[in-house]
Structure 1
Amino acid sequence: MAFEELGRFGVWRPFGGFGSEDARELEALGYGTLWLGSSPPGDLVAAEELLAATETITVASSIVNIWSEPAAKVAESFHRIEARFPGRFLLGIGAGHPEIAAAYKKPYDALVEYLDALDEAGVPAEARALAALGPRVLKLAERRSAGALPYLVPAAHTASAREILGDKALLATEHKVVLDADPARARATARPRVDFYLGLQNYTANLRKFGFTDEDLTKPGSDHFYDELVAHGDATAVVDHLAGHLRAGADHVALQVLDDDGQATLRALAPLLREVA
């Protein structure tokens, strides 16, 4: 898969959050990829249904959890989808979080074993990507896949990740959005949807490397936490915040809209995002 097929901007939602009509509208608006989050099942039926409902947009998993979905099953699903929709699906995989996955142990070794199994099953490296935050997994993503899918990171992480990945690997980062010019109200919208992540050590440990303090990372999170990790303001401000990842070296930014009417927000942002892209 060529990275340009992802487009510069995509949309991240839990895997059941895309209806067919929404997907077709997002495709028409110019978004390049639909990212299926919240650990989609290994049968990847949700991805196949969205590909069937659209014509050109890419669909990607963000991410299939390696602890809950066997590699053989995922590989079989990948080949089924690739045969039907060649070049339109990117398989994102990752190790998730120790607070959630009961089987979580030695995640790096488990990722290597999973990639080995995907190799044996014929899933091409260029058609898969890894959830990655720290240097070791970023380097693994560069060696064994198309590239990296960071989540809940500031642009400073993007710049660091690009240095680690080099020039050729994919760097597609998720970023949250609230379209509201009132900063206090925007943070209030984001807080109940985001403060959950402050209890996940993979994220908090990573953010500390980029200047976030205990005060920032103690629930419910500081203003600085939300201002860095949630693009908010009017449409121009939101788009400039998102474009900061591109300026830092990202190939693609996946928008996770936290507004109550996410489709309306994506509709409003699309013309400005097309100018950036």
Structure 2
Amino acid sequence: MSKTLGLWDLVTPELRDPAVLAELERLGYGTVWLGGSPAGDLSTVTPTLAAATTLRVATGIVNVWDGEPSVTAAAYRRVEASYPSRFTLGIGAGHRSIVGDRYSKPYDRLVSYLDGLDAGGVPESGRVLAALGPRVLELARDRSAGAHPYLTTPEHTAQARSILGAGKLLVPEQKVVLATDPDEARRIARSRLAMYLTLPNYTRNWLRLGFSSDDLEGGGSDRLVDALVAWGDAEAVRERVAAHWDAGADQVALQVLNADKLGVLRALSPVLV
């Protein structure tokens, strides 16, 4: 598979403008991953596809607790009929603190949701799983096109590739701060990481990767922040993206944390594409 670039966007109106989407296509960003737990009816997907020409759209991710797979499957069929081969359905189990009492046996819920997508006509080739741990990565390998890990490192990408094997899609998300002052870059990074430090799905994964409980304190150690967020000049960002590619990623989905997101994407394109 060729190595490509994507964009992970947390519902930024600026980046959904048709003129901007056309520019992102020209700049070489191949896929927009729609964050913010898009609804299972995929109501946010069609406007983005309609505003672009060749850009692919993926969900990052539809939460499997927020509705029934039959609804998502019907929406998938509508989207695919209107925009063939331009949409990928990303699903995941979310977090207990957000889902609430419904959150029980998340692996079993993922399996039953996949069963529902099968029954609704969503092909394995049209869906990926948000996968961090080995068990869900194996599920992604066996019952989907691949995995979309969030908030990880190139080391995790290598581990994920070893589990997925060849031929499966692997698209890690990578947070980016284009700033060369360490204090400023880490301040921006920590402001976005704060909520994730409270979510066990992520903290367990970081501990598996070799970080310690001390790294999770005080807004995250410099070591943790630097591992999760690529900051510096464009060349520093390129090196981090290349590390994911070298570890087995097919695409890296950039989430820009700077206020001027489009400006950063413009600055990175000549170096990354």
TM-score > 0.5 by shorter chain? yes
Instruction: State the one-letter code of the partner of 1:40.
Output: P
**How far apart are the structure 2 equivalents of 1:221 and 1:159?**
23
Aligned-partner SS, 2:166: coil
Partner Cα separation in structure 1 for residue 78 and residue 147 of structure 2: 24
Query: Do residues 166 (structure 1) and 165 (structure 2) align?
Result: yes
TM normalised by structure 1 equals 0.95
Partner of 2:96: helix, strand, or coil?
coil
Structure-2 separation of matches of 1:263 and 1:58? 18
Could you list the per-position Cα deviations for residues 57-101 of structure 1 after superposition, in whole angstroms to 9, with x for gaps in the alignment? 100000000000221111111111100000000000000011111
Structure 2: 5+ residue stretches without partners: none
1:132-151, aligned counterparts within 5 Å?
A: 132-151=131-150
1:84-99 aligned within 5 A: 84-99=82-97
Pick from 46, 51, 54 the counterpart of residue 52 of structure 2: 54
Once the two structures are TM-superposed, the CA of residue 19 in structure 1 deviates from its matched residue by 1.8
Match for residue 8 of structure 1 among 4, 11, 32: 4
Deviations 1:185-242 (A, max 9, x none): 1001111111110000000001001111112112411111111110011111111112
| TM-score normalised by structure 2 residue count | 0.96
Q: Kindly indicate whether the alpha-carbon contact (under 8 Å) linking 1:35 and 1:60 is maintained by their aligned counterparts in 2.
A: yes
Alignment-derived partner of residue 39 in structure 1: 37
Contact 1:162 1:171 in 2 (8 A): yes
Tell me which residue corresponds to 2:28.
30
Q: Secondary structure at the match of 1:105?
A: coil
**Paired amino acid for 1:158:** T
Indicate the residue corresponding to 2:210 in structure 1: 211
- 1:81 pairs with 2:75: no
SS in 1 for 2:81: helix
Percentage of matched positions with identical amino acids = 53
Quote the Cα distance in structure 1 between the aligned partners of 2:12 and 2:107: 28
* Residue aligned with 1:87, SS: coil
How many pairs align? Answer: 270
Letter in 1 for 2:194: D
Q: Secondary structure at the match of 2:6?
A: strand
Q: Distance in 2 between matches of 1:170 and 1:255?
A: 16
**Which runs of 4 or more aligned residues in structure 1 lie more than 2 Å from their structure 2 counterparts after TM superposition?**
15-18
User: 1 CA distance for matches of 2:56 and 2:46?
Assistant: 11
| Alignment gaps of 5+ in structure 1 | none
Distance 1:22 1:104 in 2: 38
CA distance in 1: counterparts of 2:42 and 2:269, whole angstroms: 27
Answering whether residue 255 of structure 2 is matched by residue 256 of structure 1, we say: yes
Matched letter for residue 26 of structure 1: L
Give distance in 2, aligned partners of 1:47 and 1:243.
29
Q: How do residues 110-189 of structure 1 correspond to structure 2 at under 5 angstroms?
A: 110-189=109-188
Taking the aligned partners of 2:10 and 2:218, their CA distance within structure 1 comes to 23
Given that 1:177 and 1:256 are in contact with CA atoms closer than 8 Å, whether structure 2 keeps it comes out as yes
Q: Which amino acid aligns with 2:107?
A: Y
The 5-angstrom pairing of residues 237-276 of structure 1 reads 237-274=236-273
1:75–1:121 CA contact under 8 A, matched in 2: yes
Give 1:16 deviation, angstroms.
Answer: 5.3
Give the aligned partner of residue 16 of structure 2: 19
